[in-house]
Amino acid sequence: MYMLKVENSFDSAHFLAGHPGKCRNIHGHSWRVVVEIESETLADEGEARGMIVDFSQLKADLKQLTDDYDHALLVEDGTLRKSTLEHLIQDGFRVIEVPFRTTAENFARCFYEALTGKGYQMTRVSVFETPANCAVYEGRW
Ligand SMILES: Nc1nc2c(c(=O)[nH]1)N=C([C@H](O)[C@H](O)COP(=O)(O)OP(=O)(O)OP(=O)(O)O)CN2
Ligand SMILES: [Zn+2]
Protein backbone atom coordinates (compact mmCIF):
# COMPACT_ATOMS: atom_id res chain seq x y z
CA MET A 1 0.00 0.00 0.00
CA TYR A 2 1.29 3.47 -0.91
CA MET A 3 0.45 6.44 1.28
CA LEU A 4 0.83 10.22 1.06
CA LYS A 5 0.67 12.66 3.93
CA VAL A 6 0.26 16.43 3.63
CA GLU A 7 -0.84 19.12 6.01
CA ASN A 8 -2.19 22.63 6.22
CA SER A 9 -3.57 24.83 8.97
CA PHE A 10 -6.15 27.48 9.65
CA ASP A 11 -6.44 30.09 12.38
CA SER A 12 -9.91 30.70 13.72
CA ALA A 13 -12.08 31.30 16.72
CA HIS A 14 -14.70 29.03 18.21
CA PHE A 15 -16.43 28.06 21.42
CA LEU A 16 -17.99 24.88 22.72
CA ALA A 17 -21.56 25.57 23.81
CA GLY A 18 -22.36 23.64 26.94
CA HIS A 19 -18.72 23.02 27.82
CA PRO A 20 -18.36 23.08 31.62
CA GLY A 21 -14.99 24.85 31.53
CA LYS A 22 -13.21 27.70 29.79
CA CYS A 23 -13.86 26.33 26.29
CA ARG A 24 -17.42 27.66 26.36
CA ASN A 25 -15.90 31.12 25.85
CA ILE A 26 -14.82 32.34 22.44
CA HIS A 27 -11.14 31.52 21.94
CA GLY A 28 -8.82 30.73 19.06
CA HIS A 29 -6.69 27.93 17.73
CA SER A 30 -4.24 27.35 14.94
CA TRP A 31 -5.85 24.14 13.81
CA ARG A 32 -3.30 21.89 12.10
CA VAL A 33 -4.85 19.42 9.67
CA VAL A 34 -2.81 16.38 8.63
CA VAL A 35 -4.25 14.31 5.80
CA GLU A 36 -3.21 10.79 4.81
CA ILE A 37 -4.37 9.07 1.63
CA GLU A 38 -3.59 5.65 0.24
CA SER A 39 -3.53 3.64 -2.94
CA GLU A 40 -2.60 0.11 -4.02
CA THR A 41 -1.35 1.46 -7.32
CA LEU A 42 0.51 4.40 -8.83
CA ALA A 43 -0.25 6.28 -12.03
CA ASP A 44 1.63 4.58 -14.85
CA GLU A 45 1.66 7.42 -17.34
CA GLY A 46 1.39 11.18 -17.66
CA GLU A 47 2.59 13.92 -15.31
CA ALA A 48 1.70 11.88 -12.22
CA ARG A 49 3.60 8.76 -13.33
CA GLY A 50 4.98 7.00 -10.27
CA MET A 51 2.71 8.96 -7.91
CA ILE A 52 -0.61 8.36 -6.18
CA VAL A 53 -1.30 11.98 -6.99
CA ASP A 54 1.00 14.97 -7.24
CA PHE A 55 1.63 16.42 -3.76
CA SER A 56 0.77 19.85 -5.16
CA GLN A 57 -2.68 18.66 -6.21
CA LEU A 58 -3.46 17.15 -2.82
CA LYS A 59 -2.11 20.22 -1.02
CA ALA A 60 -4.19 22.52 -3.22
CA ASP A 61 -7.34 20.51 -2.52
CA LEU A 62 -6.67 20.56 1.22
CA LYS A 63 -5.87 24.29 1.17
CA GLN A 64 -9.17 25.02 -0.55
CA LEU A 65 -10.93 23.34 2.37
CA THR A 66 -8.88 24.90 5.18
CA ASP A 67 -9.14 28.35 3.58
CA ASP A 68 -12.91 28.09 3.92
CA TYR A 69 -12.50 28.05 7.71
CA ASP A 70 -9.57 30.45 8.03
CA HIS A 71 -9.83 33.68 10.08
CA ALA A 72 -13.46 33.18 10.95
CA LEU A 73 -15.67 32.62 13.94
CA LEU A 74 -16.81 29.01 13.64
CA VAL A 75 -20.23 28.52 15.18
CA GLU A 76 -22.23 25.35 15.65
CA ASP A 77 -25.74 25.80 14.27
CA GLY A 78 -28.20 26.89 16.91
CA THR A 79 -25.68 27.90 19.58
CA LEU A 80 -25.88 31.68 19.09
CA ARG A 81 -29.00 33.80 18.90
CA LYS A 82 -29.96 34.71 15.34
CA SER A 83 -29.72 38.40 16.25
CA THR A 84 -26.19 37.94 17.63
CA LEU A 85 -25.11 36.26 14.41
CA GLU A 86 -26.73 38.98 12.33
CA HIS A 87 -25.01 41.74 14.30
CA LEU A 88 -21.61 40.08 14.00
CA ILE A 89 -22.07 39.71 10.26
CA GLN A 90 -23.37 43.26 9.90
CA ASP A 91 -20.28 44.49 11.76
CA GLY A 92 -18.11 42.80 9.16
CA PHE A 93 -17.04 39.67 10.99
CA ARG A 94 -16.60 36.46 9.07
CA VAL A 95 -18.88 33.92 10.74
CA ILE A 96 -19.22 30.36 9.51
CA GLU A 97 -22.00 28.15 10.82
CA VAL A 98 -21.42 24.42 10.79
CA PRO A 99 -23.87 21.60 11.54
CA PHE A 100 -21.65 20.06 14.22
CA ARG A 101 -20.03 20.94 17.53
CA THR A 102 -16.70 22.50 16.59
CA THR A 103 -14.48 19.84 18.13
CA ALA A 104 -11.26 18.52 16.65
CA GLU A 105 -13.01 15.15 16.19
CA ASN A 106 -15.79 16.66 14.10
CA PHE A 107 -13.38 18.73 12.01
CA ALA A 108 -11.31 15.60 11.34
CA ARG A 109 -14.40 13.82 10.04
CA CYS A 110 -15.50 16.88 8.09
CA PHE A 111 -12.17 17.10 6.21
CA TYR A 112 -12.12 13.33 5.72
CA GLU A 113 -15.53 13.38 4.08
CA ALA A 114 -14.80 16.48 1.99
CA LEU A 115 -11.65 14.90 0.55
CA THR A 116 -13.45 11.60 -0.03
CA GLY A 117 -15.93 13.67 -2.02
CA LYS A 118 -13.04 14.97 -4.14
CA GLY A 119 -12.17 11.39 -5.05
CA TYR A 120 -9.32 10.63 -2.64
CA GLN A 121 -8.97 7.21 -1.03
CA MET A 122 -8.57 8.37 2.55
CA THR A 123 -6.60 6.70 5.32
CA ARG A 124 -7.07 9.20 8.11
CA VAL A 125 -7.28 12.87 9.01
CA SER A 126 -5.66 14.21 12.18
CA VAL A 127 -6.65 17.60 13.55
CA PHE A 128 -4.42 19.25 16.15
CA GLU A 129 -6.01 21.99 18.27
CA THR A 130 -2.72 22.50 20.05
CA PRO A 131 0.63 20.74 19.62
CA ALA A 132 -0.45 18.44 22.46
CA ASN A 133 -4.14 17.84 21.52
CA CYS A 134 -4.99 15.83 18.42
CA ALA A 135 -8.13 14.04 17.20
CA VAL A 136 -8.04 11.43 14.44
CA TYR A 137 -10.77 10.20 12.11
CA GLU A 138 -10.41 6.98 10.14
CA GLY A 139 -13.30 5.77 8.04
CA ARG A 140 -12.87 2.07 8.67
CA TRP A 141 -16.26 1.47 10.25
N1 LIG B 1 -12.04 15.62 22.84
C2 LIG B 1 -11.99 16.95 22.77
N3 LIG B 1 -11.91 17.67 23.90
C4 LIG B 1 -11.86 19.00 23.82
C5 LIG B 1 -11.88 19.64 22.57
C6 LIG B 1 -11.99 18.86 21.39
O7 LIG B 1 -12.01 19.35 20.25
N8 LIG B 1 -12.04 17.52 21.54
N9 LIG B 1 -11.78 20.98 22.52
C10 LIG B 1 -11.64 21.72 23.58
C11 LIG B 1 -11.46 23.19 23.46
O12 LIG B 1 -11.54 23.61 22.13
C13 LIG B 1 -10.18 23.76 24.11
O14 LIG B 1 -9.80 24.97 23.48
C15 LIG B 1 -8.98 22.90 24.08
O16 LIG B 1 -8.87 22.26 25.30
P17 LIG B 1 -7.76 22.40 26.42
O18 LIG B 1 -6.80 21.29 26.28
O19 LIG B 1 -8.48 22.49 27.69
O20 LIG B 1 -7.03 23.76 26.13
P21 LIG B 1 -5.55 24.15 26.37
O22 LIG B 1 -4.67 23.61 25.32
O23 LIG B 1 -5.56 25.63 26.51
O24 LIG B 1 -5.16 23.41 27.71
P25 LIG B 1 -4.50 23.90 29.03
O26 LIG B 1 -3.98 22.64 29.63
O27 LIG B 1 -5.59 24.50 29.84
O28 LIG B 1 -3.44 24.87 28.67
C29 LIG B 1 -11.74 21.15 24.92
N30 LIG B 1 -11.78 19.73 24.92
ZN1 LIG C 1 -10.99 25.36 21.49
Which sign does the torsion angle of CA 132, 137, 138, 141 carry?
positive
What Å distances lie between residue 73 and 26, 50, 60, 79, CA to CA? 9, 41, 23, 12
Structural domain boundaries of the chain? 2-137
* The pLDDT of residue 22: 96
Return the ligand 1 atom nearest residue 106 CA.
Answer: 7
Q: How many whole angstroms separate alpha carbon 24 and alpha carbon 100? A: 15
CA-29 nearest atom, ligand 1? 14
Does residue 86 have an active-site annotation? no
- Average pLDDT, rounded, for the chain: 97
Catalytic residue list contains 71: yes
Catalytic site includes residue 97:
no
Q: Are 97 and 78 in contact (CB under 8 A)?
A: no
pLDDT tens digits, one per residue of 47-64? 999 999 999 999 999 999
Which of 23, 98, 126, 136 gets mutated to test ligand 1 (max ligand atoms within 8 A of its CB)? Answer: 23
Cα separation, 63 vs 60, whole angstroms: 5
> Which ipTM was obtained for this model?
0.92
State percent of the chain over pLDDT 70. Answer: 99
Q: Per-residue pLDDT averaged across 14-35, rounded? A: 97
For residues 103 and 135, the answer to whether their CB atoms sit within 8 Å is yes
Superfamily (CATH) of domain 2-137? 6-pyruvoyl tetrahydropterin synthase/QueD (3.30.479.10)
pLDDT per position as a tens digit, 84-108: 999 999 999 999 999 999 999 999 9
Nearest CA residue ID for atom 29, ligand 1: 23
Between CA 115 and CA 38 the distance in angstroms is: 12
Per-residue pLDDT, 139? 85
Q: Residues 7, 14, 19, 23: which is the catalytic one?
A: 23
